[in-house]
Structure 1
């Protein structure tokens, strides 16, 4: 039995994994898909002081309070930053890091460093009435849709769970200075459907920090593959958990 902790990206909530959780659980695994502070059942906690460090605390707190070990820690999109810092704090509890169409940082980097287009989002938020709220990306014509989701029913469902993202999440730096972090194996899952203009993906180095060959998988879909290809994504995660 593996233990999966699935961490959603910016603007989303833990509900985005609803099609994946039962597939992993049906295979006999423990699965946690929390909503980070400011989203889902924690939406009332959204505020300007919520940042990357808040979300790292969320994930570390869940893993330690539930005494989870050998965790397959999955981070989607922005949550690539979250899982990196979380694993840096508790590397002894993490068996595998999965970067799911995610930001993949180096020590000391923020979302702006990894994905420069976020500078525009921050500038827009700072000029808005709140000064700190970054609204969700707007829906675009197919094939881009809303985070890669184009089915009208799915778009409506997804839109209903989205919340604003605090600027602080995009400004705080990742901490990856624990030598034990380098030993944790990684898998990168890239969604290779249509990518909006301005969004970039860093090349994956051929060798992982632990010295083994890079593990890169692809899904032929848009960004929110947990909604558009849940069975295929679950299949990849099950293989990773069994490795």
Structure 2
């Protein structure tokens, strides 16, 4: 894992996960990755196509990650954010939500230290209901019930389907006429496409993927990237490293 003072200057550093759970990815994911640094090109990890291999370090110049108009949990005054790019049909996103997220929420979100943001990255070529599920969650957000729909979609034992979205809308006491109209509103799909375009710009092609960084207004800076559902310990270490870096005057 890159150390804080080395990682947080005008680049995104990939977290070398202590526990790496493979992410959902399209068949062309390897081809779409960012340009690997010279040192990484010579590493054994750079020669494998195994999606379970730890990611090699990659860098982007001056990343700009927007935090506006995305659902969030936590203290509005928190200085650190975790941003998740997620797909409701991805089993690893479900694993993160049920196995790792509860502890992150308890230790960092509920205590006010971290704000958690959701971004959509439906892998439409391999998950046929991913976009429709994302639309359902976004339409629930329009009635103030995003996180309830988010939880229901990620924990249901039923197969994702249009009938399920209507059932969940009923169970959440949503106005179903407004909900149905929203599902057919192309503006909702454009909002999701904005997240997809941002992910592509950052060379993110699998889910779940996470950005951990410093909140500055409505943008994220000093960013680290993790692909796959890391262990809670990996997230905790990255958060603590960033906290220490932010407390260092020359890095603020």
Q: Under TM normalisation by the shorter chain, which class is it?
A: under 0.3
TM-score normalised to structure 2 length: 0.24
Q: State the structure with more CA Rg.
A: 2
- Give the structure, 1 or 2, with the largest relative contact order (CA under 8 Å, sep 6 or more): 2
TM-score normalised to structure 1 length: 0.24
